[in-house]
Amino acid sequence: MNEKTVPVDALHPEIASSLLNHIPDAVMLLSVEGEMFYRFAFINDAAMDCFNWPANVCGMLLHQMWPEDSQGIILKHCREAAASRSSITFNELVCLPQNRTARQMVLTPLFNERNLCTHLIFTIQGISKSSIQKTQIEMDHSFFEAFFTHSVDPISLWTVKGDLLELNPAFKKVFGWEEGAFKTETALHTCGFIPEDKGEEAEIFFQQMIQGHTISHYETQRRHKDGRLLDVAITYLPIKNQKGNVTAGAISFCDISETKKLERELRHVKEQLELVWNNTADAIDLFTLQGRLLHINPAFTSLFGWTKEDTEGERPAIIFTPPHLKEELQQIRSQLRKGQTIVSLETERQKKDGSILDVLATYNPLKNKAGEVWAVIGVYKDITKLKQVQAELMQSEERYRIIAEHSHDIIKVLHSNGQITYASPSHEKVLGFKPDELVGKIFFNTVYKEDVEQVRKQFERSIAENSMCQVQFRQCTKDGSWIWVEAIFSPVSGKEGLVQQYIVAARDITQRKRDEEELQNYASFDSLTSVYNRRMFTEFIDKEIDAAKHSCRSFAVMYMDIDKFKEVNDSYGHEIGDELLKQFVQRLMKATRKSDMIARMGGDEFTILLSDINSLKEVTEVAERIQQELRMPYHLQGHMIRATSSNGIAFYPHHGESTQVLLRHADRALYKAKENRNTYHIYG
């Protein structure tokens, strides 16, 4: 007999245990923890035999052990029994091990001296091995009905003659079409649902399906009832009888509009990156640790003379490191092989014609999934002229001034203590300061205060190593604002080899920084409402799941949309529809907590992540605030519009332990809430 735990306050636990272990029905005692959790306190031998549970199951939570296919229903009845304070009898088909099934179940609440429900007695009757085939058929049919009705993907059923049998709710929700539109004499491949240029292919695939062929995930387009074209992936699935004859066909659709939109966005980002690669003034190459060039940009060819043709075929690697820097090259490869980045290395490189250039080189190793360095990106700045300027400065400061005063870059000369001893005339045009307003001041006092520490460290490191360095920071202007600059600090040493002064050559990169920030925002935020987009929201849920697993915390996901939003667009136009979406988000922000995250999933669908929740009540309070806030009418361009919202809620881990499952269950709860509109519904 297996070990079990009996409540300490039970009367004669040995007698109760013995009696319960000699009855054929499965009996379990569940301790009630809060409003959502139930823990096994006692299980008789019949229950242990039915479920093949391990001996240590006592003490574990009900949802951890119960079969997933009926888990949600059982937990729902547990909550009802505890709340109603009376026994509940219900019929539920549960698949057990060893081909057994159970049907009738009874839940009886037990109360302590304070009249609080502390335990539930869970009895399962009617456990049987008979009629397995019939039960399986019933289960298969029930499963099919449930899948067809609750699938988030649109599905249509057709006869082999091309007559519509049925559309599932998701089909009507995604495409807007009703069954009546397909029950006319109009053929499937020529009706308004299928674009004219897609009609022939639809007819071909339909014929292949009724001939017994399955066509999986074919990407094409279908038309929404409002005229919009949606990108979809279609699967044609023949339905066969026991003799193998095709009796019907199921056509399922997966809306991939968001995926296609993301692909277009990524293609745009790729084009932008290629634009930078092809038009940047810096020479860039991609090479292996063995020295073979894999790819070079136009600036590389312009600077060094090597062309793309020089990198093709099985010819030996292009060597443009001068022979006298062999040891330096070995050291560079050693660092890169370890995955280390090399920044602003002052060195020399050899052009195709054999001449030597002074360059500032930066190397970034690229790693594969195994963490191995498979290639390196090198970026080179030609500092030959700057080196010449340094050499000339050692001979004649006046010659340097002539060069500096005709440069578009802002150039300073600093004493080793950081004091400005010279400022080029370009400072007045770029920063608003006249040169004599800067001379004598400490350079770090002209740097934006949040960047001072970073610049100071680079400055001190450059002094210690007597080497050139490159740094980006914000430079203060005379009117109190700031601009982004990219500066090269070049040390100038005296005869004793000690750094006596610095040449700082900087250029304005503010626009480049803005472009980079816009690209980042474009990839993370919704352009209309400025909240996070679908990609960022799913990444946040993934991180929240990892955190919740380690801290045993719970969180909730809300899936919302605006009731009858299409009617607003149709009646008032998309401009007012867009304004409604913006004000809708503003109201969500007002009704939610600061820690909650809002995202737009597409169209009028939004999601909210409520992290680190302690109770169901805490979530329902937020849901009530949201509903109350959204019931108020909107005033849009002289129109008063009433547009309520429906809300579906799912909890982690109770309703799912993965991002996909949580979102799917929250969406199903939303679909349930849409039956009445202007309310919220918790999954289950």
Cβ atoms 670, 678 nearer than 8 A: no
Extract the tokens encoding 287.
């090479």
pLDDT score recorded for residue 4 = 40
pLDDT higher than 60, residue 315: no
User: Could you tell me which residues come within 8 angstroms of residue 328 by beta carbon, excluding any fewer than 6 positions away?
Assistant: 321, 347
Q: What is the pLDDT of residue 3?
A: 40
Strand ranges for 9-59 from DSSP E: 26-33, 37-43
Which part of the chain is CATH 3.30.70.270? Answer: 525-682
At 400 the pLDDT is 52
pLDDT number for residue 128:
57
Residue 626's pLDDT is 93
Coil, strand, or helix at residue 632? coil
What are the CA-CA distances from residue 202 to residues 127, 168, 208, 574 (Å)?
49, 20, 10, 32
pLDDT mean over 35-48: 85
Tens-place pLDDT, residues 424-442: 888 888 888 998 898 999 9
pLDDT digit string, tens, across residues 87-131: 888 877 666 665 556 668 888 888 888 888 888 888 887 655 544
CA–CA distance, 580 with 586 (Å, rounded to integer): 10
Q: What are phi and psi of 386, to 5 degrees?
A: -65, -40
The burial of 506, by beta-carbon neighbours within 10 Å (0-12 exposed, 13-18 middle, 19 or more buried), is given as buried
Residues of the chain with CATH 3.30.450.20: 13-133, 151-255, 267-373, 386-513
Helix axes 574-591, 565-572, angle to 10 degrees: 140
Percent with pLDDT over 90 in the chain: 24
- Assigned fold of 386-513: Beta-Lactamase (3.30.450)
- Report residue 395's pLDDT band, with 50, 70 and 90 as the boundaries: low
Residue 301 CB: number of other CB atoms within 10 A?
15
Residue 649 β-bridge partners: 558, 682
Report residue 523's pLDDT band, with 50, 70 and 90 as the boundaries: low
pLDDT the model gives residue 487 = 87
pLDDT at 675 over 80: yes
The reply to whether CATH 3.30.450.20 applies to domain 267-373 is: yes
Tokens 């816009």 correspond to what residue? 518
Output the pTM of the full model: 0.33
Q: Taking a C-beta distance cutoff of 8 angstroms, is the pair 642, 648 a contact?
A: no
**Mean pLDDT across 551-557:** 90
Q: Does domain 151-255 have CATH number 3.40.50.300?
A: no
| pLDDT band with cut points at 50, 70 and 90 for residue 257 | confident
Percent of the chain with pLDDT strictly greater than 70:
83
Q: How far apart are CA 179 and CA 525, in angstroms?
A: 37
The CA distance from 237 to 127, in Å, is 36
Structure tokens at 199: 């009609």
- pLDDT digits 0-9 by tens, 74-88: 888 888 888 888 888
Q: How far apart are CA 435 and CA 442, in angstroms?
A: 14
| Residue 400 tokens, joined | 């340097």
**CA atoms of 664 and 550, how far apart (whole Å):** 24
User: Is the pLDDT score of 384 beyond 90?
Assistant: no
Which carries the bigger pLDDT value, residue 500 or residue 535?
535
**Per the omega criterion (within 30 degrees of 0), is the bond before 653 cis?**
yes
Output the CA torsion sign for 435, 436, 440, 444. Answer: negative
- β-sheet bridge partners, residue 484: 474
Q: What does residue 163 show for φ and ψ, rounded to 5 degrees? A: -90, 140
Torsional sign, CA 45, 51, 55, 56: negative
pLDDT attached to residue 552: 83
Q: Which pLDDT belongs to residue 671? A: 94
Instruction: Choose among 116, 2, 8, 112: nearest CA to 57.
Output: 2
pLDDT reported for residue 363: 92
> Between 331 and 130, where is the model more confident?
331
Distance CA 470, CA 462 (A): 10
The tokens for 116 are 């609080």
At 474 the pLDDT is 92
* Predicted local distance difference test score (pLDDT) of residue 112: 82
How many CA atoms, within 13 angstroms, populate the side-chain half-sphere of residue 122?
Answer: 25
Per-residue pLDDT band for 136 (boundaries 50, 70, 90) equals very low
Q: How far is Cα 67 from Cα 29, in angstroms, rounded to an integer? A: 18
- Grade residue 12 by pLDDT with cuts at 50, 70 and 90: very low
Least confident segment among 7-21, 352-366, 381-395, 408-422 = 7-21
DSSP H helices, 85-176, are 132-150, 169-175
* Predicted confidence (pLDDT) at residue 390 exceeds the cutoff of 90: no
Q: Is the confidence at residue 9, as pLDDT, over 50?
A: no
Per-residue confidence (pLDDT) for residue 394, from 0 to 100: 60
Letter string b/e over residues 97-106, b meaning 16 or more CB atoms within 10 A of that residue's CB? eeebbbeebb
Tokens matching residue 20: 């319960």
The DSSP 8-state label assigned to residue 518 in this structure reads: H
- Write down the CATH superfamily of domain 13-133: PAS domain (3.30.450.20)
d(CA 108, CA 72): 18
Q: Is 41 exposed, middle or buried (CB count within 10 Å of its CB: 0-12, 13-18, 19+)?
A: buried
- CATH number 3.30.70.270 is the correct assignment for the domain at 525-682: yes
- Average pLDDT over the chain, rounded to an integer: 82
The residue-averaged pLDDT of 509-517 equals 78
Q: How confident is the model at residue 137 (pLDDT cuts 50, 70, 90)?
A: very low
Using an 8 Å Cβ cutoff, are 479 and 472 in contact? Answer: no
**Is the model's pLDDT at 344 over the cut of 90?**
no
257-279 and 510-524 helices, crossing angle to 10°: 160
Model confidence pLDDT, tens digit, residues 139-198? 455 556 667 777 788 998 888 888 888 898 989 899 998 888 876 555 455 468 889 888
